[in-house]
Structure 1
Amino acid sequence: MVQTLPAPAVREPSAGQIIRTNFSDTVVSSLRTFGRSVSMALEAVAGAVSDLVRGKFQWREMFFQAWYFIAVTAFPAILMAIPFGVIVSVQVGNLIHQLGADSLLGATGGLGVIKQGAPMATGLLLGGAGAAAIAADLGARTVREEIDALRVMGINPVHRLVIPRMVAMILVAPLLNILMITVGVLAGYGVAIGAQGVTSGSYWLTFGSFTVAADIFVSLGKSVLFGFLVVIVACQRGLEAKGGPRGVADGVNAAVVLSVVAIVLVNLLITQVTSMFMPVRLA
Structure 2
Amino acid sequence: MDQTVGLWGGKQLVDKAFRGPEPLLRQAIEFVLSGLRTFGRTIQLGIAAFRYLIVDIVALRHPWRDTLQQGWFIVSVTAIPAVLVSIPFGVIVAVQVGSLTQQVGASSISGAAGGLGVIRQGAPMVTALLLGGAAGSAIASDLGARTIRDEVDALRVMGIDPVRRLVAPRLAAMIALTPLLCMLIIFMGVFTGYVIAVGFQGVTPGSYLSAFAAFAKMADLWVAIVKSVLFGVIVLIVSCQRGLEATHGPKGVANAVNAAVVIGVIAAFGVNLVITQLVSMFIPTQVG
**Deviation at 1:21?**
2.3
How many Å separate the matches in 2 of 1:277 and 1:188?
28
Letter in 2 for 1:255: A
1:211-226 matched pairs, under 5 angstroms: 211-226=216-231
How many Å separate the matches in 1 of 2:224 and 2:80?
20
Q: Which region of structure 1 is more displaced relative to structure 2, 47-56 or 124-133?
A: 47-56
Task: State percent identity of aligned pairs.
Answer: 54
**Deviation at 1:20?**
2.1
Which of 252, 257, 260 is 2:262 aligned to? 257
Aligned to 1:73: 78
2:94 maps to 1:89: yes
2:38 maps to 1:12: no
**Deviation at 1:93?**
1.0
How many Å separate the matches in 2 of 1:183 and 1:49?
34
1:30-45 matched pairs, under 5 angstroms: 30-45=35-50
1:43-62 matched pairs, under 5 angstroms: 43-62=48-67
Q: Which runs of 5+ in 2 are unaligned?
A: 1-15
SS, match of residue 160 in structure 2:
coil
Which of structure 1's runs of 4+ aligned residues deviate more than 4 A?
none
**Deviation at 1:46?**
1.1
CA offset digits 1:189-246 (Å, max 9, x no partner): 0100111100001101110110000000000000000000010000000000000000
Aligned to 1:116: 121
TM-score normalised by the chain length of structure 2: 0.93
How many Å separate the matches in 1 of 2:26 and 2:17?
19
How many Å separate the matches in 2 of 1:57 and 1:156?
14
**Deviation at 1:172?**
1.1
TM-score normalised by the chain length of structure 1: 0.94
**Deviation at 1:11?**
6.8
SS, match of residue 23 in structure 2:
helix
2:147 maps to 1:142: yes
Question: Paired residues, what number?
Answer: 273
How many Å separate the matches in 2 of 1:56 and 1:128?
31
Q: Which runs of 5+ in 1 are unaligned?
A: 1-8
Letter in 2 for 1:274: V
How many Å separate the matches in 1 of 2:58 and 2:177?
22
RMSD of aligned Cα (Å): 1.1
Which of 235, 239, 256 is 1:234 aligned to? 239
Which of 180, 187, 203 is 2:208 aligned to? 203
